[in-house]
Structure 1
């Protein structure tokens, strides 16, 4: 073998060794997991709807025409922020009239007091009779009662103008505006509906015969199918079973409080599913959703052998729980799967 062939063989050997090292590094870099039993409860799934625990229909307390409308549906408002103003000119005039009557009553009271003082002085000097003193005292008491009544009416009339300016009772989102600028507001007629976006719950309807099976020692989960991950799954912070049953459907409503959410995707009226744990926990084979390969109607995972080779194997999947899915057939405990299907496919 000449020198040129010797150099060529050396390069081929080095390339082969480099390829082997690359394959070994790739094999070592492949993320895998050994399947172990996961203790989980069976679940009772029930349809639910999201609602706000604090939703208020704000109505007018006095009649009048809407003169100002400060909000629209979807606006965020703070506690005490003005929402609607109703024409208060009539209330202002009524307040002015009552205040004038109170001032007149106070003037009459002052005259009655001075007259009573003069009458008492004259009675002490025997210049007037007892009857004159009694009349002066009676007039003073009547004037005092009228003055007290007028002052009470003034305080009541002073409250009415404040009822024409309608404010938010708490920090909320405006859900609906039921009036237009210039329309007539009547007592009891809803003007604006507000709700607290941080106080939400899901209300599920469960057959009365299944309520006794619910396992309340484990937290219930709420699925919001219309939201993407990770907001799709929420854990109920509390569960309340209402004491009354619907006689027509023989069902009971259960309230599941949603944790305070920083996402704007959860809204009252959304469809949800409540997942209640039932029975006793038993071992299940769970794999991450990211490890599952979906091809048309086939679900599969890459199974990694002891020598590092990866083989695609078809599996039958069950229920999904957050980022995990149950494998009903195709895998066994103790086997190793690849967590990154794309990396395993390149082996």
Structure 2
């Protein structure tokens, strides 16, 4: 009786109660579910472009590392004993010509020795001439019994002895002349000075190194390769040596005739024309590529591969579901903008060309042309 009187007196309260009851009814829970069931399928996460797996003729190269070294070095040493270095005319890095003076030894002592040797020759010459006159007189005496056989033999022997002393004196003079020439140290060949151990004022021992010369400024690249790789290389083969962004052309000069027993490797010697002028220095460690010809290979764009967890992958497309499938590959080194595929794909297959870093297995994608 009281509730009906309230609703009759307050019609607004009746309307509010009716609205609350309808909102709490079971039919209101089903509406959102019906809407969810009628939603459209999910959209593609990424637009991708496909590339075909191709067969291409690619250059076949062998890439190894090696050191730059002098083709030949000339060691220029001291040839005098007990003589001081008086002057130095060359420094490390100087480009020199054959016969150019590099250093001078003190010549005063050697000149004195040479003068003494010349005096000895003059004395021996005079003694020999006198002995020869005596011997000639003895030979001209024909009267029997005028000169005894013993006297005759003594005079002829004195002539021969004087002649021997003259030859010895001349040899000593020649030796001193050679010593005088050796006071001037000269370059043995055209080249560049790579080391200098000579010191002004020092008295080096005979044979002690004074200078070291890279002959003809000629450098070569020396690479150590396995015995199997050595079998694929031949003399005259083209080689490209890389110094930062600079590519230098060279040719195989010769191959090592032996294989190291422990490492099973051999040396390859590559001539690089004009190496010094192109900025190479002995001791540089550079990468080089041997041109082994060409081969037909299965390739895909480099942008189509990705490295994950130490393995190489590419993504193919399932046409029915528009979802990508991750494929594990075995690849060789890159050749230009392509990379050779050894296992995992066949010519004619299609892979996602780029953007693979943003994909995961099973992602829904949209293909664009």
Counterpart in 1 of 2:62?
Answer: 44
Structure 2 contact 236–251 (Cα < 8 Å) conserved: no
Structure 1 contact 53–200 (Cα < 8 Å) conserved: yes
TM-score by length of 1: 0.65
Structure 1 contact 62–164 (Cα < 8 Å) conserved: yes
Change (3 A) 1:113 1:279: closer
Counterpart in 2 of 1:260?
Answer: 274
Q: What's the secondary structure of 1:58's corresponding residue?
A: strand
Structure 1 contact 45–273 (Cα < 8 Å) conserved: yes
Q: What's the secondary structure of 2:113's corresponding residue?
A: helix
Structure 2 contact 299–339 (Cα < 8 Å) conserved: yes
Counterpart in 2 of 1:340?
Answer: none
Matches within 5 A, 1:75-154: 75-124=94-143, 127-154=146-173
Deviation at 1:168, TM superposition (A): 0.7
Counterpart in 2 of 1:234?
Answer: 248
Q: Among 195, 202, 221, which residue is 1:176 paired with?
A: 195
Counterpart in 2 of 1:190?
Answer: 209
Q: Deviations over 1:213-254 (max 9, x none)?
A: x2549934232333x4xxx22232234210122233221111
Change (3 A) 1:67 1:285: farther
Deviation at 1:184, TM superposition (A): 2.3
Change (3 A) 1:140 1:204: same
Deviation at 1:132, TM superposition (A): 2.4
Distance in 1 (alpha carbons) for counterparts of 2:213 and 2:298: 45
Counterpart in 2 of 1:299?
Answer: none
Distance in 2 (alpha carbons) for counterparts of 1:55 and 1:81: 17
Look at both structures and tell me which one has the larger radius of gyration over its CA atoms: 2
Structure 1 contact 52–197 (Cα < 8 Å) conserved: no
Name the count of aligned residue pairs: 259
Structure 1 contact 79–168 (Cα < 8 Å) conserved: yes
Runs of at least 5 residues in structure 2 that lack an aligned partner in the other structure: 1-53, 304-331, 341-347, 349-369
Distance in 2 (alpha carbons) for counterparts of 1:219 and 1:284: 26
Counterpart in 2 of 1:275?
Answer: 289
Counterpart in 2 of 1:62?
Answer: 80
Structure 1 contact 49–270 (Cα < 8 Å) conserved: yes
